[in-house]
Chains A and B, each alone.
Chain A
């Protein structure tokens, strides 16, 4: 029997073992990019098989072309991202300049977006601001086929299957969904002032996410894991107290994650910000791995792995502010210290601590990925 480190695992096997904190050959790779970085990398690589479009907004996706994930041979990819808007109205452009566009979306939320760069939009107004309006809108939130961009995801799904990558069903957790509908401020106020209403909103979105996952499964997707997106914290901590999390959100998370676990699918949860106070609750709810561990929000895998590494995996934490220096000595120190701390627990996937910013050169980035593969090989 050859040593595992000498065996060549498929990406699917590698990530599955990593998520189960079982021995594997090397640290799996996965990453995200700011739109400007993605465009610059695609232009710099100059390979016509590549198309911009890991994220389709605002450009049209080119599912026939390779993503950077495939080009860099990452181990994990995701499909899904059901449209979770209420579809109260047709999305409309209300105002537009060369720089930004003011849109009313299907939730009747008015948001200002940059046209040529990514980022959180300005929250101008939200249409659902009373329990009565919610009660009228709620029946519209039903699972349906036309909520998934099949034309975009089927080709990627098939290529990922052929390449034996680890495929995640990608969805959105309830805080993110409710924030998109009510806005942060209304959601936070309702936690205290209108708890019954908020319970109903959270429960409705939770059931919708489960129904959409079942629909995708019925369409033929056989996913290996789940990638659940939701920014539930900011630099200084969670948006809500652990008590509020436990009362309102935990039951929804547990129900959603149980749905995946029943099929043997481990769960990766994405949240920016400082989520340390929620980690014990996440573990109870069945989270298998957290991502991306934002360094500037005091998330540090060197502290977290010794504390939680036996119960939880980690994906990310490589500080983008260090990467933008393009200083290989500094980057190596960042990379090595964090990987060395996390690797003994066997549950670590490389990712930056957010998204690769435009200041990171392609040359640095190629070197970084080589270094992850070299240093991240278990011996």
Chain B
């Protein structure tokens, strides 16, 4: 059954996924297993296929919809069982940048990796970022920039987080002009060349902390 749930997510079947979740819960499978061995396992495979160039954005979007449809059924059961997301990620496009497609994909992949995601949207100031990190006790921050003219705001945000947050959450960065070299230069904890790799990286960084 759990395998079939994962397959429904991989195939982007937003009708089958909630139906199978309902059936799984009816057979008294633990909600945690349905989440981790069903929905999230499916989304992990979607991330792998996306990273390896087997899946493209359309396949990822419909898979995410299937996962969310399954999640809607599962959520009350998770709450009752006391299953909470292991980590929290705050994510946003930096100040001065309005691009959101890449950032949205990363948010989807982070959710698929089991994170609670606080999406601050676009044109996010360092102050707003810091306030959200404090409020939500963020483990990781994801910053996105599409333009060479806005990427310096990543460094500004990191410096401000270092000054005001102790401990500073791990920071991962990504976007069209970003490179590993740039991430190293500004003191980010990692660079995600694509959304799936970004989510994997976020998980690794959280485990280390």
Binding site for B on A (CB under 8 A): 34, 100, 112-114, 117, 119-123, 184-185, 188-189, 191-193, 234-241, 244, 277, 296-297, 320-321, 324, 357-359
Closest to B175 in A: A235
A interface footprint on B147-170 (CB within 8 Å = 1, 0 otherwise) = 111000000000000000000000
Shortest CB-to-CB span from A313 to chain B, Å, is 25
Contact A321–B102 (Cβ < 8 Å): no
Contacts of B146 in A (CB 8 A): 119-120
The winner among A113, A122, A184, A277 for most chain B CB atoms within 10 A is A122
A selection of 13 A-B contacts at a CB cut-off of 8 Å is A119-B97, A119-B98, A120-B98, A122-B123, A184-B101, A188-B61, A189-B62, A191-B58, A192-B12, A240-B56, A277-B53, A358-B149, A359-B148
Contact A236–B193 (Cβ < 8 Å): yes
Q: Provided the pairs A119-B98, A236-B194 are in contact, do residues A189 and B61 lie with their beta carbons within 8 angstroms?
A: yes
Given contacts A34-B149, A234-B176, 20 further A-B contacts (CB under 8 A): A117-B149, A119-B146, A120-B98, A188-B58, A189-B58, A189-B61, A192-B58, A193-B62, A236-B194, A237-B53, A237-B56, A238-B56, A239-B58, A240-B56, A241-B55, A241-B59, A296-B176, A297-B176, A358-B149, A359-B148
Contact B62–A123 (Cβ < 8 Å): no
A interface footprint on B80-107 (CB within 8 Å = 1, 0 otherwise) = 0000000000000000011111101000
Contact B98–A100 (Cβ < 8 Å): yes
The answer, yes or no, to whether B122 is at the interface (CB within 8 Å) is yes
Contacts of B61 in A (CB 8 A): 185, 188-189
Q: Provided the pairs A119-B98, A189-B65 are in contact, do residues A357 and B56 lie with their beta carbons within 8 angstroms?
A: no
Shortest CB-to-CB span from B144 to chain A, Å, is 12
Contacts of B12 in A (CB 8 A): 192
A320 to B175, CA, bound (A): 16
The answer, yes or no, to whether B76 is at the interface (CB within 8 Å) is no
Contacts of B101 in A (CB 8 A): 123, 184-185, 234
Shortest CB-to-CB span from A357 to chain B, Å, is 6
Contact A239–B122 (Cβ < 8 Å): no
Contact B193–A120 (Cβ < 8 Å): no
Number of A-B contacts (CB under 8 A): 76
A114 to B199, CA, bound (A): 30
The contact of A123 among B100, B123, B193, B194, by CB within 8 Å, is B100
A192 to B97, CA, bound (A): 30
Contacts of B100 in A (CB 8 A): 122-123
Contact A239–B177 (Cβ < 8 Å): no
A235 to B100, CA, bound (A): 14
The contact of A122 among B59, B98, B147, by CB within 8 Å, is B98
Contact A240–B58 (Cβ < 8 Å): yes
Q: Provided the pairs A189-B58, A234-B176 are in contact, do residues A119 and B148 lie with their beta carbons within 8 angstroms?
A: no
Shortest CB-to-CB span from A124 to chain B, Å, is 9
Contact A122–B122 (Cβ < 8 Å): yes
Tell me the residues in window 54-73 of chain B with beta carbons closer than 8 Å to chain A beta carbons.
55-59, 61-62, 65
**Considering the complex of A and B, which 7 residue pairs feature the smallest CB-CB distances, nearest first?**
A122-B98, A188-B58, A241-B56, A235-B176, A191-B58, A236-B194, A122-B122
Shortest CB-to-CB span from A293 to chain B, Å, is 14
A358 to B59, CA, bound (A): 37
